[in-house]
Amino acid sequence: MKVKESFSRKVFNVINYIILGLLGLSCLLPLINLFAISFSQRAMVDANAVTFWPKGFNTAAYEYILSNKQYYQSFVITLGRVLLGWIINLVLIVLVAYPLSKDDPRIFRCRKYYTWFFLITMVFNGGLIPTYLVVSKLHMINSFWALILPEAMPMFCVLITMNFFRGLPKAIEEAALVDGANWFVTMVQIYLPLSKPSLATVSLFIIVSHWNAWFDGLIYMNLPEKYPLMTYLQSVVLKFDVTKITSEQLMLNPKLAEVTGRGIKGALILLCTVPILMIYPFLQRYFVSGVVMGSVKE
């Protein structure tokens, strides 16, 4: 049975859609503008004549980026850190969250102490220089592991997982224990399969944060060839100076003369964000469910 909508409700809906639509456009249009600029002719970009459709279509910016092996190197590093970081993070998160989800002091006596121990890291951190010094004294400067280990256990994700574990009926666990399973088997065979939604959410957080991280690459890596993709993007967007291309280069490779700073930056931003954008639609729903997940405790 359809409830008849009141007039004020209709007005509300219309205004609501308009506001949300504008909000959506304000996110989408800059991206479209970048897209148009990255495919446009230099003279048009320089005259600021490009809006939402490429003018003087060409692919010089993309050719410039894709002919540089730095892009591929950085891409491989980012891919590696996402995959490896995801696995390591997930293992650590589960191993921490499971014991911490045990309320009963007879099962885990020092739970409170450990919970606070971890929670403090969420609120306070060492700050930039001490963190850098720790990483440096552990000889991880210039090493791939510096991108993974310092952030190997995001406490926020532990909280989500922990609360989800707590929400599962205790009776299932007791049944498993009665049947002779030990704690580890219970965790792996009972809890993990039941917590797929929460693990998916956490995975999404991890993957996105690893993909987007750039600052650690900047401070821990001493040579650009070791930069992850986002650090490379950062360095290009802030530092790329089209005037550094010498007159001699322009003369010998007229294609270079087609390149603009804005075009290069736009193209690279798209090349760096599109891969992660593509997985968003598939994982979007976990974001929504993930945020409220575990918020209601039994």
Partner 1 sequence: MRNKKIWALLLTGAMVMSVVACGKSGETGGDSNVGGQEETQAETGDSGNTEDEDGLTEVSYMHKLNGTEKYVGNDDINNNVYTRCYQDELGIKLNFTVAAAGDDYTQKLTMAIASNDLPDLIDLPAKEFSELANAGMLADLTDSYDTYASDLLKQTIEADGGVQLASAKVDGRIYGIPQLSAADGTCDLLWIRTDWLENLGLQAPTTMDELIEVARAFRYDDPDGNGVDDTWGIGFQKDIVKEDGASPGSFEGFFAAYGAYARAWIKDENGKVTYSGINDGMKDALAQLNQMYEDGLIDPEFGVKDTVKLSEDIAAGKVGMFYGLEGMPWGACKSNIENNPDADWQCYPIVSATSEPAKPITYVRISRYYAANANCKNPEALVKIANVFQEKINAIDSTEETLNTFGVDPSTGINFAEYAAFAMDPAIQKCNTYYAEIKATLDGESTVDEIHPEAARYYNVIKNFIDNGMDKGQDSLGWNYYKFIGPEGSWNTIINDYKANDKLVQSVFFGAPTPTMSTNLSALDKMQAETCVNIIMGSQPADSFDEFVSNWKSLGGDTITEEVNEWYNTTFG
Give the interface with partner 1 as residue ranges (CB under 8 A): 41-44, 46-49, 67-70, 72-73, 76-77, 79-80, 83-84, 87, 132-133, 136, 139, 141-144, 188-189, 218-219, 222-225, 235-236, 238-241, 243-257
Least gap, CB of 143 to partner 1 (angstroms)? 4
Nearer to partner 1 by Cβ, of 248 and 298: the residue is: 248
Nearer to partner 1 by Cβ, of 237 and 283: the residue is: 237
Nearer to partner 1 by Cβ, of 261 and 290: the residue is: 261
As a whole number of angstroms, the distance between CA 25 and CA 270 comes to: 17
Least gap, CB of 162 to partner 1 (angstroms)? 21
First vs last C-alpha separation in the chain: 34
Nearer to partner 1 by Cβ, of 21 and 130: the residue is: 130
Classify residue 84 as exposed, middle or buried by CB count within 10 Å of its CB (0-12, 13-18, 19+).
middle
Least gap, CB of 285 to partner 1 (angstroms)? 25
- Separation in Å, CA 27 to CA 13, 22, 34: 21, 9, 12
Least gap, CB of 11 to partner 1 (angstroms)? 39
- Decide if 148 contacts 84 (C-beta within 8 A): yes
Least gap, CB of 36 to partner 1 (angstroms)? 15
CA 96 to chain CA mean position, Å: 22
Helix (H) or strand (E) holding 289: helix 261-292
As a whole number of angstroms, the distance between CA 119 and CA 156 comes to: 9
Nearer to partner 1 by Cβ, of 59 and 143: the residue is: 143
